[in-house]
Structure 1
């Protein structure tokens, strides 16, 4: 703990007073011993000052000084990092619903596992956050505009339908438009809430073919970066996934390099998940990063409580040992 961890560090100067009191107590004890040695009639000394355990008589003073030190720390208002839920932010969850999501390399299937994990993610976000849902295959659609009501989001997740092709860039562009729609209704004079896009994909972009095309994923990621909106990506599935279309078995491997590049361009985070459990763990991490913020909060109460208890103990010890309160 450093001085910067205190809201009122100048109170720590009072510790010098406590140090002075400690030194004064030590000097007083030594003077007392010297005065006792001057008492030449030892028989009378035994009657006037009966023996007392030497160590015990210092306990009240030690406890009092320690308690004062703790209260001084409390007065300096120590702080610590605390995790608090955000009450003002927008999150857009974009889920790939291309036909490759039928693959069963993730049990029971990529789609079902993604749906269950996405619902847990939605329900785990702080209630003050706006959450929107975008689904995408050959095109992208806003299924639920950003809202603090989680029920329409979870219901829409349950109703996700598969379609042909994968337009990753369109998913990001559509998510940005959904963020714009919420920002447009922010009262005048207020800043739009911070936003974040979470993009789940299980394969390569097919529309358009080039990621750098005007409507491609990399182009959309650059636009998000320009607007200060990170796109965190999740590459979901394995390299061994296959689907059967019109009797043909087609491999549908994941495309980690493209998802990583989108995250890097937009200053988001890149994740991989090869099972429902792994996907839920990724969402828990995102909940912590997006849904909560680290702030410095007051941490003086424990010091105040301990200081009060220790000083009370000093008084109790004084009554037991010397029959008086110091």
Structure 2
């Protein structure tokens, strides 16, 4: 529950739950109030002439006289919750994180199964991702085919990243493992110079590709993709993979049509081994949706925030209403 004046009032835990022991005091006050009311009623029955009382005061006391006491108890309950220091989940932008965007520029990215081509669509969506990513995140760019090259070291300068994406060039083969190792090295380098904490900044690799690794032929080799994914897991860097394309893609090589169907099996395995998530996209619109999802995951973190202010204000509001009700109904403050 959230009210504009009262503030956040959702709960996800308490920092000082022992304050709930105060509820025993509240229960004692309720018991005392009931005892006092019963004792007052007995005194009236003992000393009053009921026939005379009915003729002098035919209207019995209204049940509304208990309302101030009830409101007082409710306010004490809210004060107790506030003293227990409730918390709620708060999403805040990350300002100390590293993201490496690793893009496949092998020849299969020429395929036009995704209009206007896999590469052009990837460039457009990747630039939008760079634009919308939380400004405080350090974003780097790696292009890879047979080898991997750091085009932009992690930086908050998005223009440099977008300019490099526009200049991507095709090359032969696909060395996915080398690209991941290169990204891990770039993350380690920038992590050593980023301050603001006792631990390295959180990091993530976003691996964009349309096919399986060709160099080396075995992904479990020391420089293979699966070995690199396990290393990323050990270093606490999850890899989010994006398999982009359709099963019907092809490229023209020496006047011959060469099928280049998207291969998401290897990319799924890489994500699994690294502790990340795997995504697939077969159109520019789907790719944009994937990037928007990643931006939401990477760009924000959830922390525990204080939620006691709303409960404290609500308790004070009900206490004021209790005092007003006591003056209007019983002509005195609640006791």
TM-score normalised by the chain length of structure 2: 0.86
Q: Aligned in 2, Cα 1:133/1:59: closer, same or farther, shift over 3 Å?
A: same
1:103 aligns with 2:103: no
Match of 2:135 in 1: 127
1:154 aligns with 2:162: yes
1:16 aligns with 2:9: no
The secondary structure found in structure 1 opposite 2:91 is strand
Which stretch shows the higher mean deviation, 175-184 or 232-241?
Answer: 175-184
Deviation, 1:208, is 3.0
Q: RMSD over aligned Cα, in angstroms? A: 2.7
1:58 to 52, 58, 66: 66
Deviation, 1:98, is 1.9
Match of 1:298 in 2: 306
**Residue deviations 1:25-54 (CA, integer Å, cap 9, x gap):** 12222222222223115435654x563663
2:273 to 229, 252, 265: 265
1:116 to 98, 115, 124: 124
Which stretch shows the higher mean deviation, 83-92 or 20-29?
Answer: 83-92
CA distance in 2, matches of 1:177, 1:279: 27
**Residue deviations 1:58-112 (CA, integer Å, cap 9, x gap):** 1111111101110111011011232233332211110112222232333333223
CA distance in 2, matches of 1:321, 1:50: 18
Match of 1:40 in 2: 49
The secondary structure found in structure 2 opposite 1:163 is coil
Do 2:12 and 2:86's aligned partners in 1 also have CA atoms closer than 8 Å? no
CA distance in 2, matches of 1:321, 1:226: 69
Which stretch shows the higher mean deviation, 165-174 or 138-147?
Answer: 165-174
Number of positions where the alignment pairs a residue of Structure 1 with one of Structure 2: 324
CA distance in 2, matches of 1:44, 1:259: 89
Is there any run of 5+ residues in structure 1 with no aligned partner, and where? none
Match of 2:218 in 1: 210
1:29 to 31, 34, 37: 37
The secondary structure found in structure 1 opposite 2:304 is strand
**Residue deviations 1:124-155 (CA, integer Å, cap 9, x gap):** 33332211011112222111101122221122
1:222 to 223, 230, 240: 230
Do 2:12 and 2:89's aligned partners in 1 also have CA atoms closer than 8 Å? no
1:6 aligns with 2:14: yes
CA distance in 1, matches of 2:252, 2:61: 89
The secondary structure found in structure 2 opposite 1:197 is strand
TM-score normalised by the chain length of structure 1: 0.89
CA distance in 2, matches of 1:311, 1:92: 54
